[in-house]
Structure 1
Amino acid sequence: MKKIATFALITALLAGTAHAQDKVTLTVAAFPSLDSAIKAILPAWNKKYPNVTIKLQAQEFADHHNAMTTALATGQGLPDVMAVEVGYVGKFAEGRGLEDLSKTPYNAAAYKKLFTPFTVAQATSSDGRFIAMPTDIGPGTFFYRKDVLDKAGVKPEAMMKSWDDYIAAGKTIKAKTGAYLINTAQSVYGVVSRTNLKPGEGIYFDSKNTLLVGPDNARFLRAFTLSKQVRDAGLDAKIGEWSNEWYDAFKKGTVATQFSGAWLQGALQNWMAPDTKGLWRVQNLPENSFASWGGSFYAIPSAAKNKQWAWEFIKFMTLDKGSQLTAFTDNGAFPALLTAQNDTVFNQVVPFLGGQKARLLWRDAARKTQPIDVNKYDSVADQIVNTELTNVLEQGKDIKQALADARAQILRRAR
């Protein structure tokens, strides 16, 4: 009897230890407003996995990606799950600090067909590794203040026919309302540089790693030229994005239009300018163009401590239709999962956008957006090109010379 009692005690202790080990703290590093999406699904996660606590580490966009760059380089301070914005996917993929999710035990290649095609291409490295699961996408969108355009007598459909029409409308808006057309002329560059790409092209490099930036590239020439036309006409407020001035412009209606991803609706509604409900509307990009504007992914660092639970979390956020729709309705994070895009919620009006059925427009745009190749030097090229564009806009630098200088600098950094 004594042996039986001792055995029972040992069994109970072992069971208790096993149960204690089941309690896991999973560290997830993210940025706004993806952190809001994570918070929104926590009740469902906690109900399904009560022993796995999500520890959310949220930093501002640039701070988050800088911290993750350092963590991957040093192996210190790595989370279990790392959120990555599309502009950094190529850079992080080539660093080889992230798990290849197409391999065992993840076997994520089987899930690729479940997502919007262009986002799968964005998460695939040049050597074919699938390094992150897409969670949301950013169908490029033209946001405008209906009240401002109405006051100016400008029809949004007309101003979207061509870039010349857009600039002409901006002059009318400025003359009749005093509002600027856009926050900064560089936003025009952001649209033109993303659209009308040929198959196998990224924004800055093609699939063979050939640099596309230069004075002979028609896309960059046009992007720089149109941006300069906006600046020369005094149509931009010279306000940078993610600044207090940017938020104030949204609140006060001193800027009439904005190019962004569909996700901007959630940001405007939830924290940027909630009191402007009903004043905004959306259209597709000028000249019937379509482009990916942002998009978020989840990756697992190779040195992560809780890879099993990290993968369960990623699947919960990306493959679960309910989670995808919760994030979408909470903060406008447009779902990358195709089944979520077919939900009846897309037929509902968006009160913040004056009752417009904007989700149908975004879904159509997402399906017409072509894949864009990513490159590990995209973030470097983006910084250099935007610096040269600033030189054109603020110092009067010749456009072709600026693009030639940008090309030389990128090639030097890429070596």
Structure 2
Amino acid sequence: MDRRGLLGGAAGAVALTVWPAAITAATGAPPREVLTVAAFPLVDEIGRAAKARWQALHPDVELRILTRQYVDHHTAMTTALSTARGLPDVMALESSFVARFARGTGLLDLNQAPFGAAQYRERLVRYAYDQAITREGAMVAMPTDIGPGTMLWRADILQRAGVDGAAIGRSWDDYIAAGQRIKATTGAFLVSTVVEMKDILIRSGLKAGEGLYYDQDSRALADTPRFERAFEVALRARQLGLDAKLTTWTNEWAEGFKRGTLATALSGAWLVGQLANWVAPDTRGLWRAAHLPEGANAAYGGTFYALPRQADAGRRALAWDYIRLMTLDAAQQLAAFKQQDAFPALRETHDDPFFDAPVPFLAGQPARRLWREAAGRIQAMPVHRQNAFAEEVVSTELDNVLTGRKTIRQALADAQKLLTRRALR
């Protein structure tokens, strides 16, 4: 549930792999001190925009942002950590990769001296901070932006259908009933894919100590009422023909927004910026924002900064200065929010007047207030090392249900077996 990987291709970034050693070989003279930051699209733009602020702090240190596409970036960082070759001083990580990278010992514990990240806990959105804490208590990365969930709805489509946008998400039953009316009267689909519904429902109603797919004792949670309800709602919506069966971020998905065949979207708040800037700018003023159905709270991605343990220790203090600039400087956090829709993880920014300002794409609705409220309600979930595998299994089993190859009970029982077996490895 993130935008970074999906926006990688759209951002059209070019990989920059020119390291200081290459400059020395080309010019015959060593460069001045260089701090390297490995990032992926949009995060790299935020870093480049911060260069002036960095130079004011460290005028003798060049800041070099190294960009790769989302998948290539995380693959390269995995290789660099395992081989200790080509390591940057600072690496950006999308939230879904934090737990995977924390399995080993490749990242420094930022709670330890000289960093002392624990002192900043109350300044950061709680769930984002806690997401980077390992079971052993180490903090392997600092959050810089988050993705509070929201429901977007097309005012013109709902008006033609006679549906009250303010009430459409009171419950999942109301949401589906509204979808039936919208489809019957306008022909528009309620949502691009029922997977969006499943993704929210499996994140709703978690108990203390539960992660998304495993509890704190590594017990699998697929065969539970939470997943059963998620599959039931998704199957019901599919059987009623309410989703367009589109893969998110494809050309067909974008066309659905442009042509007005999608009445709602369940995603991160950052989707507003993507619709406004490149997906469907001509729909400006037609959209409104609300909380997710039934008041659900879900996080859609986010970005963290980490320090590779085997990177050059001589630049470690500089690297930590860069992380603090990008995560703890209110002016920098607000600039990234205004320029790239990177919702701040720094709580002290949330009182800025910008949160009360109208959002032009949403016909002037001050929607950032909603997203701020959602961010404060999201609960941290323990991130298990097998979450990526579990996500693939659950998605496959949902597809088996939607295509009629399995019943919900059989699909979840099979998922439970696979997740349990994997947890024992």
The TM-score with structure 2 as length reference comes to 0.88
In structure 2, C-alpha distance between the alignment counterparts of 1:29 and 1:251, rounded to whole Å: 34
1:102-117 matched pairs, under 5 angstroms: 102-117=111-126
Aligned to 1:141: 150
Q: CA deviation at 1:395?
A: 4.1
Matched with 1:297 is 304
What is the one-letter code of the residue matched to 1:205? Y
Uncovered stretches (5+) of structure 1, i.e. residues with no partner: 1-19
1:89 aligns with one of 93, 98, 114: 98
Distance in 2 between residues matched to 1:282 and 1:155, nearest whole Å = 13
Deviations 1:334-391 (A, max 9, x none): 1111111111211111112110111111111111222211111111111111111112
Residue pairs, 1:7-406, within 5 angstroms: 23-214=32-223, 217-305=224-312, 306-406=315-415
Q: Per-residue deviation at 1:147? A: 2.1
**Please, what is the CA RMSD of the aligned residues?**
1.9
CA–CA distance in structure 2, aligned partners of residues 147 and 53 of structure 1: 50
Deviations 1:302-357 (A, max 9, x none): 12233222211111100000110011111221111111111121111111211011
User: Structure 1 residue 292: deviation in Å?
Assistant: 1.9
**Quick check: 244-253 or 306-315, which moved more?**
244-253
Which position in structure 1 is the counterpart of 2:25?
Answer: none
Assess, with a 3 A threshold, how the Cα gap between structure 1 residues 167 and 405 changes in structure 2: closer, same or farther.
same
Distance between the aligned counterparts of 2:214 and 2:136, measured in 1?
A: 15
Q: Return the letter of the residue paired with 2:403.
A: E
Structure 2 counterpart of 1:263, one-letter code: W
In structure 1, give the amino acid aligned to 2:380.
Answer: P
Q: Using the alignment, how far apart are the partners of 1:278 and 1:98 within structure 2?
A: 45
Counterparts in 2 of 1:52 and 1:395: CA distance versus 1, 3 Å: farther
Aligned length: 394
TM-score by structure 1 length? 0.90
Task: Output the amino acid matched with 1:131.
Answer: V
1:33 & 1:277 partners in 2: Cα distance? 22
Q: 1:137–1:336: 8 Å Cα contact kept in structure 2?
A: yes
Q: Residue 297 of structure 1 aligns to which amino acid in structure 2?
A: F
| Residue type at the aligned position of 2:250 | S
Amino acid at match of 2:82: A
Kept after mapping to 2: 8 A contact 1:247/1:272:
yes
Q: Which amino acid aligns with 1:154?
A: V
- State the shift of 1:22 in Å: 8.7
- Give the deviation of 1:118 after TM superposition: 1.1
Alpha-carbon shift at residue 21 of structure 1 (Å): 8.1
Q: Which of 1 and 2 has greater Rg? A: 1
Deviates more, 1:58-67 or 1:170-179: 58-67
Partner of 2:14: none
Residues 85-114 of structure 1: per-residue CA shift (max 9 Å, x gap):
222211111222111001112111111121
Partner of 2:21 in structure 1? none
Report sequence identity in percent. Answer: 48
Distance in 1, matches of 2:81 and 2:112, equals 20
Q: Secondary structure at the match of 1:82?
A: strand
Q: CA deviation at 1:122?
A: 0.3
